[in-house]
Homo-oligomer: A and B are copies of this chain.
Amino acid sequence: MTIILNSDDIKKCIQLNDELIPIIEEAFKSLALGKTVMPPILRLDIEKYHGESDVKAAYIDGLDSYAIKVASGFFNNPKLGIPSSNGLMILLDSQTGVIKTVLLDKGYLTDVRTAIAGAISAKYLSNSDSSIAGVIGAGIQARLQLESLLLVRKINKAYIWARETEKANKFCEELKHLNINLEVCKLIEDVVKKSDIVITTTPSKTPLIKNDWLKKGLHITAMGSDAEMKNELEPLIVKSCDYYIPDSLSQTKILGELHHAINKNIVPADKTYNELGNIILNPNLGRKNKDDITICDLTGTGVQDTAIARHTFEKATKLKLGTKVG
């Protein structure tokens, strides 16, 4: 029998809260320790419909199950009145390959585990007294990243920029319940210069943030770039910052901000960097001074999917949720 969990089941198990932080931290630690099998992402593009499906998978040594995740983005969908994101996760038995559960999350678990990675990035890399956030973009991740940041930092003010000001206004309206001061900026430069922590959440193909704008002590979480052509930071930033920390070095060399810095010969292709998991294992490898500028480059990893799929399944089993199909 395979247990099918639908969106409602999954949302009963998983909400964006600090319970998930140690779960995703463990995943990053395993990745940094090399205790994982995480093959390159499979990506299928359907250009005609401005759509793509990504498949990620990771086995974490010693765990009794592993996930394979399909995440799709079809960017004409909003015109049709349906969300861009979609997908599911499959949890398989590590010893037999038997499918334990199919999680019909429609991208929800990916959204949540990505937001939690942002929180982890800020927790370990930003100054602990950071109180002002800057958010570039006003989509689902912009919302979740800001919400998630509140789990680890006492933010009292956030500046928002979006290509369409209307969307930024709507963002502020919809996030009133966070009880922080939200202000729309017309220039990205203003957001960056006024914030302690900046989160970039766009699918931009040209850099949005310039090196000249970075002030001392800033932390940036760049989570928009998850494909070769996407690029949110001026590539020079990777070299000029004090700490560049990827979620997965092998991935950011191919599709993160690092990849653009390598392509422009700003940093050598064989230069190594500590990953987020190394910083979690030993926080001394990250920020040392209040003035350090830190960058965390998140491309999204299969180990996060395995961690959140396993956690969801555990909770669903306890709550006896799901439909058995066999």
**A interface residue numbers (CB < 8 A to B):** 2, 4, 6-7, 37, 39-46, 48-49, 51, 53, 55, 57-59, 61, 66, 68, 70, 72-74, 76-77, 80, 82, 86-88, 90, 92, 94-99, 102, 104, 323, 325-326
With A55-B42, A55-B57, A57-B55: A97-B86 Cβ-Cβ less than 8 Å? yes
Which of B40, B42, B82, B97 makes the CB contact (< 8 A) with A74?
A: B97
Bound Cα distance from A326 to B8, whole angstroms: 8
Instruction: From A6, A37, A323, name the one whose CB has the most chain B CB atoms within 10 angstroms.
Output: A37
Which of B46, B68, B94 makes the CB contact (< 8 A) with A37?
A: B46
Please tell me how many copies of the chain the complex holds: 2
Residues on B with C-beta less than 8 A from A102 are 4, 88, 102, 104
Which of B53, B87, B99 makes the CB contact (< 8 A) with A86?
A: B99
| CB <8 Å contact, A97 and B55 | no
With A95-B49, A95-B74: A325-B44 Cβ-Cβ less than 8 Å? no
With A102-B102, A104-B2, A326-B6: A94-B39 Cβ-Cβ less than 8 Å? no
| CB <8 Å contact, A88 and B99 | yes
With CB as the reference atom, state the residue of chain B lying closest to A86.
B97
Residues on B with C-beta less than 8 A from A323 are 4, 323, 325
Q: Which 9 A-B pairs have the closest CB atoms?
A: A72-B97, A42-B42, A74-B97, A86-B97, A44-B57, A49-B95, A4-B325, A6-B325, A55-B55
| CB <8 Å contact, A99 and B104 | yes
| CB <8 Å contact, B51 and A96 | yes
Which of B68, B70, B74, B76 makes the CB contact (< 8 A) with A53?
A: B68
| CB <8 Å contact, B96 and A80 | yes
| CB <8 Å contact, A39 and B49 | no
Residues on B with C-beta less than 8 A from A66 are 44, 46
Bound Cα distance from A41 to B4, whole angstroms: 26
Bound Cα distance from A7 to B88, whole angstroms: 20
Q: How far is the CB of A15 from chain B (nearest CB, A)?
A: 20
Bound Cα distance from A66 to B49, whole angstroms: 13
With CB as the reference atom, state the residue of chain B lying closest to A57.
B44
With A55-B57, A55-B68: A73-B97 Cβ-Cβ less than 8 Å? yes
Bound Cα distance from A308 to B99, whole angstroms: 21
Which of B4, B44, B46, B61 makes the CB contact (< 8 A) with A4?
A: B4
Residues on B with C-beta less than 8 A from A41 are 42
With A46-B94, A102-B102: A57-B68 Cβ-Cβ less than 8 Å? no
Bound Cα distance from A61 to B46, whole angstroms: 9
With A42-B40, A104-B2: A98-B82 Cβ-Cβ less than 8 Å? yes
Which of B6, B59, B104 makes the CB contact (< 8 A) with A46?
A: B59
13 contacts between A and B (CB under 8 A): A4-B323, A7-B326, A42-B42, A42-B55, A42-B57, A44-B57, A48-B61, A55-B55, A68-B70, A86-B92, A87-B97, A88-B102, A104-B326
Residues on B with C-beta less than 8 A from A87 are 97, 99
Bound Cα distance from A145 to B39, whole angstroms: 31
